Structure 1
Amino acid sequence: MSTIIMSQCWPLQSLSVTQKAVLISLADQANDDGVCWPAIGTIAKRCCMSERAVRTAMDHLEAVGLLSRERRFNSSNVYSVTPSKFDVSAAGTKAKRKAKKSGAAPGAGGAADAGGAPNAPGAAPDAGGPARGAGLEVRPVPPNRHITPIEPSEEPSVPALAAPLSKAALEAQMQEACKQTWAAYRTAYRLRHGVDPVRNAKVNTNVRDLVKRLGREEAPQVAGWFLGVNEQYAVKRMHDLGVLLAGAEAYRTQWATGRQVTTTSAQHTDQTQSNLSAADEAKALLRKGRAGNAG
């Protein structure tokens, strides 16, 4: 990028938004002599416009002396950005030519205007009726202003994908999740048992493994909830973290559904299932006996 060329291009006026964007893009890629050779497609992507709009803007820049092109076969063209050769009068002349080509001179109206434009101030009204646009102020287009419509980009912009996290970033996230899990477990442990839980290398490993199995979001919540479990085995082991880790997925399900499975409820469920199985067997024997009697 040449700061010299860029500083000379920014103050230039009498250019449309499209033309100025293409000019600044070329200046950004030029050396101190104003020379660059980007592809049309590259300029289009940088300026968020179609290649056709880029070519139209470059034609205008060349016409007013801001750009010269050296066309090459099977290669990118070489461009020279020349802000010192900018001819403002040429930009105004080109605008006038385009206005005449559209059917009316800049700032004038008339019967030849296909859209029924209002007459210019002071002009006679159309025959057979009052002046169209009476009472409205009609301002002529400045002769040095060139308007080029901005065409939409042919290729929709695609949001850039987030770069994968580094090992250091992943480890930092794991460490933070472990701290939150231990803090939740320790706070709930103090409320339940009145003392701090023991923390050693084995406990640290259990906390890390718990985060791996339940995830960074749920591990702290399940660890704090676990101290409210009244299961006989967990209470007997004083809610040791190893008990939580051994049944991590089952405890997580109880936490998510709001149902605690105690020893009594488990025995009741098992007895209910046994009773249902015995009833099914009795019904099967009864149906078999009836079928034998009918035969």
Structure 2
Amino acid sequence: MILCRTIPELKAAVSKFKRELTEGETIGFVPTMGYLHEGHASLLRRSTKENRFTVLSIFVNPMQFGPNEDLDKYPRNEERDLALAEASGVHAVFLPSVEEMYPNRPLTKVTVSQVTERLCGASRPGHFDGVGLVVGKLFHLVQPDRSYFGMKDAQQVAVVQQMVDDLNFPVEIVPCPIVREPDGLALSSRNVYLSAEQRQQAVVLSQSLELAKKWLDEGKLTPNELLQRVQNHITSVPQAEIDYVELLTYPRLEQVPANDPISGSSPLILALAVKFGTTRLIDNTLLTFGG
């Protein structure tokens, strides 16, 4: 496994891989902010299965953090990350410093409109501009054929896919399923912030999503009725503070009529963001149904 800390080192590794590719072989890429867990490992294993070479990036991108967010406290463990990467069959890891990625404060924004205006885009203004900038930069440097993203951040997947489509990036975006703990909590690097009591209560997120699917199977509800039930279930635990609970089309993230019974064949996303103390967790499920 090649460890690259500078852009020239990464470019040299990518050039080496490209020289070794034979017809039909590809390069896969998994961009992360590190503190890797089984969710990341599932992306890496899929990439190594589907591509000749896999590149992993580990970079806590300051451009996607707001002034009052957890940039300085974001968990980091380089030694463990590299061990997981090697065990997952990664061929190169790009682990740059902030100064390497941004020698000067960037003046360029990569803004994707509409799909960034709701959910985390509304709660974290400018967040997806930072995501678009760093992902675009990494795609340019790695030049992958495929890039793998977890559906836990389904809005990020939609934003990156829209950017790729609009700018004709020659890369296939591969959405991958959410990986969960045995009790249903979605894996997240931020779970480490939870106290024991908060960790126990946080399972209300996945429980709410499962209940929503059950309620829809039992009979037709309007979005307002479904959202109210979900909100009531989440707030039944004392430490849960709702940021948002929304039902939108996916991947366009457009609003649906609030008082019309939910029906049709297009997928909808039920997306949640909830704080437990200072820890903000997100989760979602895609809903498909007959109509």
Compute the TM-score of the two structures, normalised by the length of structure 2.
0.17
Larger Rg: 1
More helix by share: 1
More strand by share: 2
* Greater length-normalized contact order (CA 8 Å, ≥ 6 residues apart): 2
